[in-house]
Structure 1
């Protein structure tokens, strides 16, 4: 979702910066366009980083047998949220 949001922000910013030739006295639309383009790039990069990052979990199981001995088992798993 953040990748799409970044692209949308960038496109809207590019339209404001390069395609709109309207002069408004109280705001500079070209500057707003450049700001939106920068924000779009940042949001896009954050989305890529979150997509690539791996998550790891550790599940710990403790079992006690009839003699009172305890056995600890740890199982590590890494999941990649970008692969479906």
Structure 2
């Protein structure tokens, strides 16, 4: 279950707990809503901790020296590919 599924669980749990007054025989919808919210919060914290560990830090781009000794730097601005130069 991804982050979206966890958020949906929290939302459904909040709706069941706070916005409904249905009475079902043998089912406490307030408790079910609280359980959904707790499971959703556990999922969000687990997902965010895993995503924080997987974050990849890109090393800075290094200059390339051609045969004439001129320095060329890689630019990631979208304009260094030959258009608009």
**Which bin holds the TM-score, normalised by the shorter protein?**
0.5 to 0.7
Q: Which has the higher contact order (CA 8 A, sep 6+)?
A: 1
TM-score, normalization by structure 2: 0.61
Structure 1 gap segments, 5+ residues each:
55-78
Which structure 1 residue ranges, 4+ long, deviate > 4 Å from structure 2?
A: none
Instruction: Report the equivalent of 1:6.
Output: 6
The root-mean-square deviation of aligned C-alpha atoms, in Å, is 1.8
CA distance in 2, matches of 1:21, 1:3: 28
CA distance in 2, matches of 1:45, 1:5: 13
CA distance in 1, matches of 2:46, 2:15: 23
Instruction: Report the equivalent of 1:25.
Output: 25
Greater strand percent: which structure? 1
TM-score, normalization by structure 1: 0.62
Does 2:56 align with 1:80? Answer: yes
- Aligned residue pair count: 57
CA distance in 1, matches of 2:51, 2:11: 21
The answer to whether the Cα contact below 8 Å between 1:16 and 1:32 also exists between their aligned partners in 2 is: yes
Structure 2 gap segments, 5+ residues each:
58-85
